[in-house]
């Protein structure tokens, strides 16, 4: 896991991307900075509150590519990998992360690109999407959010920057994930993840 | 090798949106410090090293303050009734409360078991929580003797606890009922209604800290939650047939016949395939 993160960080650096430093400079301790003004310290409720109810995506539609797949909530497998519906025609939404109506974070939806049982799946076409292609994610109450494709990247699976992709605190965005790259016919696995990043239209 | 299939208007791929600053500003020299109001019915001012730091701090709906990023060290903490003089009116006066480095700490204005005011100092567990789980921490900060914690009708900790003690556990996300009962019993004696447990929805990646506060005949529950402790999946494995591979010997629009052939292979090696899919 640690190696994964290091590798991902290295890739981000190579890609010329910037990340926010993990450690913020510490403000002066109160012990050395007495001040006449009362500091503005955030206060929150101590009353028992129900957490926000998730709005689970139920479908992903990409008109340009003729893709329309139902979506079901998924979690993680016992080995720690994201759970993926066996049927290539069904995508899984990472239900512990953000949904399209969360204030922050990435909605992550993944599907098998293929399987021996079901053949080639619709997410095989993700790699052919054009810039700005629209992706519509509909949630359980029927409302939807439209995204436009910002980038599509093939990333070696071991280098998938999971902490970034499954981010819950940053800006709202959508990540569609499937597999691609080279196929290992011995282990029946692909070398890469194909990751589509899309941002909400109008944001 | 990582490569871009398509790059649109924005420059980078994944870091284009940036990662938000961490909720915690904990470092090797400082800690996140929360102040929790655990004395029902009074409004207080809190002084830290003689400086008024929290004014008109109320119990309940705005009863958790922080986090403050405090350098490790000793801090003089005084709690006075709102508007009072710390030199003469303090109800809690701790000359040197030790704040460690690299921790999350809750300072709780609370009752001790005998009904006197005290400053409870608790270290919050902010270690990463397994996917699909949340953490419950229960703290006894009330004027009461030993009590039992009751979750879904049973005491999951198998023991009673005293004022100043805590229990914690990581549990699958979901809805629970929770309450505090007399020692060795499981009938809640605490709000919302005596005999009724509180409904608690445990969220993923959150340490939900539940305090039993108040006095013996009027116990109450208050909470503090620390989020952002979730872990992420280790990866995403999304294919097992090679039909979309760059090194696929056939073209991508693979024929159904080829797929059937693969299915035949799969038939022979079915067990192996399934096991590979489970573990890859």
Tell me which DSSP letter residue A165 carries: H
Q: From residue A6, how far is each of A1, A11, A176, B131 by CA, in Å?
A: 9, 9, 23, 21
Lowest mean pLDDT of A185-189, B10-14, B80-84, B141-145, name the range: B10-14
Looking at the domain assignment, is residue B261 inside a domain? yes
SS (H, E, C) B201-219: EECCCCEEEEEEEEECCEE
Counting the structural domains of chain B, the total is: 1
For an interface test with A, give the residue of B33, B228, B232 to mutate (most A CBs within 10 A): B232
As given in the structure block, the two tokens for residue B176 are 């629970």
B23 pLDDT higher than 80: no
**pLDDT given at position A72:** 98
Is there a domain that residue B277 lies in?
yes
pLDDT at B2 (0 to 100): 78
Which range of A161-175, B167-181, B210-224, B252-266 scores highest in mean pLDDT? It is A161-175
Whether the CB of A73 is below 8 Å from some CB of chain B: the reply is no
Within 10 Å of residue A27's Cβ, how many Cβ atoms?
A: 14
Contact (CB<8Å) B233/A166: yes
* B266 within some domain: yes
The 10s digit of each residue's pLDDT in A7-49 is 433 333 333 333 344 444 444 444 444 446 888 899 999 988 8
Is the pLDDT assigned to residue A114 strictly greater than 70? yes
- Of A142, A122, A144, A139, residue with least CA distance to A200: A144
B235 to A23: CB separation less than 8 angstroms, yes or no: no
Name the pLDDT band for B3 (thresholds 50, 70, 90).
Answer: confident
| Closest among B178, B181, B147, B150 to B162, alpha carbons compared | B147
Domains of chain A: 2-14+55-200 (2.40.260.10)
How many Å apart are CA A171 and CA A200, to the nearest integer?
Answer: 10
Predicted confidence (pLDDT) at residue A93 exceeds the cutoff of 60:
yes
Q: Which residues pair with A107 in a beta bridge?
A: A174
Give the domain range for residue B265: 237-280
- Nearest-5° Cα angle at B56, B54 to B57: 65
Q: Which of B192, B233, B242, B261 to mutate to test the interface with A (most CBs of A within 10 A)?
A: B233
Is A163 near chain B, with CB under 8 Å?
yes
Q: Which residues contact B135 (CB under 8 A, 6 or more apart)?
A: B125, B129, B168, B169, B170, B171, B206, B207, B208, B229
In a domain, B17, yes or no: no
Phi, psi of B272 (to 5 degrees): -65, -40
Q: How far is B67 from chain A (nearest CA, A)?
A: 7
Condensed to tens digits (0 to 9), the pLDDT of residues B128-159 reads 999 999 999 999 999 988 988 888 888 888 88
Strand-pairing partners, residue B221, are: B212
- The confidence score (pLDDT) of residue B166 equals 93
Mean pLDDT of chain A: 85
CA–CA min distance B80, chain A (Å)? 15
Share of chain B above pLDDT 70, in %: 79
- Res. B13: pLDDT tops 80: no
Alpha-helix residue ranges (DSSP H) falling in A62-188: 162-165
Pull the structure tokens for residue A166. Answer: 């499954």
Helix axes B270-279, B256-268, angle to 10 degrees: 90
Reading the block at residue B77, the tokens are: 């903490």
**Of the listed ranges A13-17, A134-138, B260-264, the one predicted with least confidence:** A13-17
Q: Provide the 10 A C-beta neighbour count for residue B86.
A: 17
A203: contact with B, CB 8 A cutoff? no
| 8 A C-beta contact, residue B97 and residue B119 | yes
Per-residue pLDDT at A3: 40
For B49, the closest of A30, A104, A124 (CB atoms) is A30
In a domain, B172, yes or no: no
Asked whether residue B184 is domain-assigned, the answer is no
Whether B106 and B34 have beta carbons less than 8 Å apart is answered as yes
Tell me which of B26 and A135 has the higher pLDDT.
Answer: A135
Residue A5's alpha-carbon distances to A35, A118, B60, in angstroms, are 42, 33, 40
């Amino acid at each position: 896991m640690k190696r994964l993160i290091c590798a991902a960080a290295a890739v981000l650096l190579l890609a010329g991307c910037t990340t926010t430093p993990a450690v913020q400079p510490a403000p002066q301790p109160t012990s050395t900075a007495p001040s006449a003004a009362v500091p503005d310290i955030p206060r929150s409720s101590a009353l028992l509150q129900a957490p926000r109810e998730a709005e689970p995506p139920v479908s992903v539609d990409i008109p340009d590519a003729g893709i329309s797949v139902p979506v079901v909530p998924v979690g993680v497998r016992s080995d720690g990998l994201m759970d993926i519906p066996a049927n290539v025609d069904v995508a899984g939404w990472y239900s512990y992360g953000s949904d399209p109506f969360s204030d922050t974070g990435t909605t992550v939806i993944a599907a098998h690109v293929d399987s021996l049982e079901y053949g080639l799946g619709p997410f095989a076409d993700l790699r052919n999407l054009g810039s700005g292609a629209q992706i519509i994610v509909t949630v359980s109450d029927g409302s939807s959010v439209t995204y436009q494709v910002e980038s599509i990247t093939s990333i070696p699976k071991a280098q998938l920057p999971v902490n970034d992709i499954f981010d819950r605190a940053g800006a709202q965005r959508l990540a569609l994930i499937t597999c691609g790259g080279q196929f290992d016919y011995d282990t029946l696995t692909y070398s890469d993840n194909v990751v589509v990043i899309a941002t909400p239209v109008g944001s | 090798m990582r490569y871009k299939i398509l790059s649109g208007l924005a420059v980078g791929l994944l870091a284009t949106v940036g990662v938000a600053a961490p909720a915690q500003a904990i470092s090797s020299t400082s800690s996140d410090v929360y102040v929790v109001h655990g004395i029902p019915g009074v409004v207080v001012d809190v002084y830290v090293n003689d400086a008024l730091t929290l004014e008109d701090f109320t119990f309940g709906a705005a009863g958790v303050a922080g986090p403050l990023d405090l350098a490790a060290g000793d801090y003089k903490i005084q709690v006075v009734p709102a508007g009072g003089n710390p030199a003469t009116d303090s109800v809690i006066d701790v000359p040197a409360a030790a704040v460690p480095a690299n921790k999350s700490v809750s300072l709780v204005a609370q009752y001790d078991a005998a009904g006197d005011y005290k400053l409870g100092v608790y270290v919050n567990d902010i270690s990463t929580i397994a996917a699909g789980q949340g953490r419950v921490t229960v703290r006894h900060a009330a004027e009461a003797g030993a009590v039992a914690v009751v979750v879904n009708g049973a005491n999951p900790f198998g023991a009673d606890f005293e004022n100043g003690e805590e229990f914690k556990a990581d549990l699958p996300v979901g809805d629970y009922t929770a309450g505090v009962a007399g020692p060795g019993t499981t009938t809640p004696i605490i709000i919302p209604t005596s005999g009724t447990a509180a409904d608690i929805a445990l969220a993923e990646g959150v340490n939900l800290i539940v305090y039993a506060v108040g006095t013996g005949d009027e116990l109450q529950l208050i909470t503090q939650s620390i989020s952002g402790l979730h872990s992420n999946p280790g990866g995403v494995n999304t294919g097992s047939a090679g039909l979309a591979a760059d090194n696929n010997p056939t073209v991508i629009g693979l024929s159904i016949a080829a797929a059937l052939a693969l299915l035949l292979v799969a038939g022979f090696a079915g067990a192996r395939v399934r096991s590979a899919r489970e573990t890859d």
